[in-house]
């Protein structure tokens, strides 16, 4: 088991859309953590290039993350019988939202993108990973079919599935997952929920850890709100084998975080959950776009992602932090930055320190 052999129990979260870089994955791996290539939003060729770059930089094990497209997760592991309907996009709500985006596009001197369904190159990416295996393949937004999972396992890859509640955890186990990534509601970026339905319970990382620990006997990686040594140590005490950190790395040198995003991470704005940017629930720093559009944004992923893409790109180019997604977890104020390798080593040491201190409290 790769997790047991890590020098530090720290997994770098795959942050798609240019945030994660091969340099980040290499730095984390070389420091004794576990780096990830973010395969989501990339062409199969770009994903392969990232994998090749990581292999040049490190001989340590690493992972690749893929997004499970909506239709796949329905045909493979259905959470309940209504799954098919729950994945359906409300065309009228989507059109209304696209209309609302018109003035935004105009404001940034661009046009609203064409909303369309897309499977993010699913079959091609899976084939590429079976043909040229990597140590770990993790999935977000659902589960591949049992066959797809066993194909990956058959070529020696571990399969990790991201879950946000106990039902998903049980389904992931049934599908054949080797490891579960438990993503709490604190996490920055997209919620990994298999279905993006309204009014989920929103289990926190530690609630999820305790509930899943008692329900499913698999190694657990805790994600969401973990950003410093005492928090990481707490997750290990609560039953995690390792933690997955995303926001913790956002200020690091090797990460593609936009300068304006970096600046706002130094502020005090609260985060919020929103579908405004991509049509799928995600946690980001509140900004003008989020506040203006959260209420009207439908559950329509990746249609909304494509519709807002030119607006977000233009806002980024213009350095306007009020026009694109400033993904961040609830504890972002504690992110430090610097070199990712130094951060992994420092967090590893702080974690051991917190665990050693814990022992002194065990005395009656």
Contact criterion met (CB below 8 Å) for 2 and 35: no
Smaller CB separation from a copy of itself, 121 or 329: 329
Q: Which of 144, 225, 279, 302 binds a copy of itself (CB under 8 A)?
A: 225
Note whether 206 binds a copy of itself by CB under 8 A.
yes
Q: Which of 185, 243, 245, 307 binds a copy of itself (CB under 8 A)?
A: 185
Q: Which of 133, 202, 256, 296 binds a copy of itself (CB under 8 A)?
A: 202
**Where do runs of H (alpha helix) occur along 132-257?**
146-154, 166-175, 205-215, 229-237
Nearest distance in Å: CB 349, a copy of itself: 9
What is the per-residue binding string for a copy of itself in 16-55, x denoting contact by CB under 8 A?
Answer: ----------------------------------------
Biggest alpha carbon–alpha carbon distance for the chain? 66
Our CA dihedral for 90, 93, 97, 98, rounded to 10 degrees, sits at 60
Note whether 228 binds a copy of itself by CB under 8 A.
yes
What secondary structure letter does DSSP report for 238?
T
Q: Which of 35, 69, 115, 231 binds a copy of itself (CB under 8 A)?
A: 231
Q: Which of 143, 203, 216, 220 binds a copy of itself (CB under 8 A)?
A: 203
Smaller CB separation from a copy of itself, 26 or 284: 284
| Structure tokens, 320 | 């306007």
Contact criterion met (CB below 8 Å) for 41 and 309: no
Note whether 214 binds a copy of itself by CB under 8 A.
yes
DSSP notation for 251-281: TBTTS---HHHHHHHTS-PPEEEESTTTSS-
Burial 108-119 (b: 16+ CB within 10 A, else e): bebebbebeebe
Binding residues among 271-300 for a copy of itself as defined by CB under 8 A: 271-272
Smaller CB separation from a copy of itself, 113 or 189: 189
CA distance 185 to 191: 7
Smaller CB separation from a copy of itself, 130 or 334: 334
Mapped onto helix, strand or coil, the DSSP state of residue 345 is helix
Smaller CB separation from a copy of itself, 235 or 344: 235
Strands, sheet with 158-163, edge to edge from the N-terminal-most edge strand: 10-12, 242-245, 220-223, 179-183, 158-163, 136-140, 62-67, 35-38
Nearest distance in Å: CB 108, a copy of itself: 25
What secondary structure letter does DSSP report for 355?
H
Footprint on this chain of a copy of itself (rule: CB under 8 A): 7, 165-166, 184-186, 199-207, 209-211, 213-214, 224-228, 230-231, 233-239, 270-272, 329-331, 333-334, 352-359, 361-364
């Amino acid at each position: 088991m790769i997790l047991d052999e890590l020098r530090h129990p720290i997994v770098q979260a795959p942050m798609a859309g240019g945030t994660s870089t091969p340099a980040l994955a290499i730095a984390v791996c070389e420091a004794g953590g576990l780096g990830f290539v973010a395969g989501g939003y990339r062409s199969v060729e770009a994903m392969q290039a990232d994998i090749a770059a990581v292999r040049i930089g490190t001989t340590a094990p690493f992972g690749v993350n893929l997004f499970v497209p909506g239709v796949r997760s329905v045909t493979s592991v259905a959470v309940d019988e209504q799954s098919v309907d729950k994945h359906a996009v409300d065309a009228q709500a989507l059109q209304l939202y696209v209309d609302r985006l018109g003035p935004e596009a105009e404001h940034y001197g661009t046009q609203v993108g064409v909303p369309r369904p897309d499977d993010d190159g699913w079959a091609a990416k899976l084939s590429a990973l079976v043909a040229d295996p990597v140590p770990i393949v993790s999935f977000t937004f659902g589960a591949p079919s049992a066959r797809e999972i066993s194909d990956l396992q058959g070529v020696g890859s571990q399969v990790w599935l991201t879950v946000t509640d106990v039902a998903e955890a049980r389904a992931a186990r049934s599908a054949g997952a080797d490891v579960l990534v438990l993503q709490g509601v604190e996490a920055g970026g997209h919620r990994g929920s298999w279905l993006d339905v309204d009014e989920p319970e929103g289990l926190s990382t530690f609630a999820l850890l305790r509930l899943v620990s008692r329900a499913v006997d698999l190694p657990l990686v805790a994600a969401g709100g973990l950003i410093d040594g005492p928090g990481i140590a707490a997750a290990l005490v609560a039953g995690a084998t390792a933690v997955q950190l995303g926001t913790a790395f956002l200020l690091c040198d090797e990460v593609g975080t936009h300068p304006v995003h970096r600046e706002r991470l130094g502020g005090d704005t609260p985060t919020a959950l929103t579908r405004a940017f991509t049509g799928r629930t995600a946690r980001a720093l509140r900004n003008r776009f989020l506040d203006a559009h959260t209420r009207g944004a439908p559950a329509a992923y990746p249609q909304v992602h494509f519709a807002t893409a030119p607006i977000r790109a233009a806002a980024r180019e213009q350095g306007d932090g009020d026009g694109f997604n400033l993904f961040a977890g609830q504890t972002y104020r504690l992110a430090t930055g610097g070199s990712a390798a130094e951060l992994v080593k420092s967090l590893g040491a702080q974690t051991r320190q917190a665990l050693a201190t814990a022992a002194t409290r065990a005395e009656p």
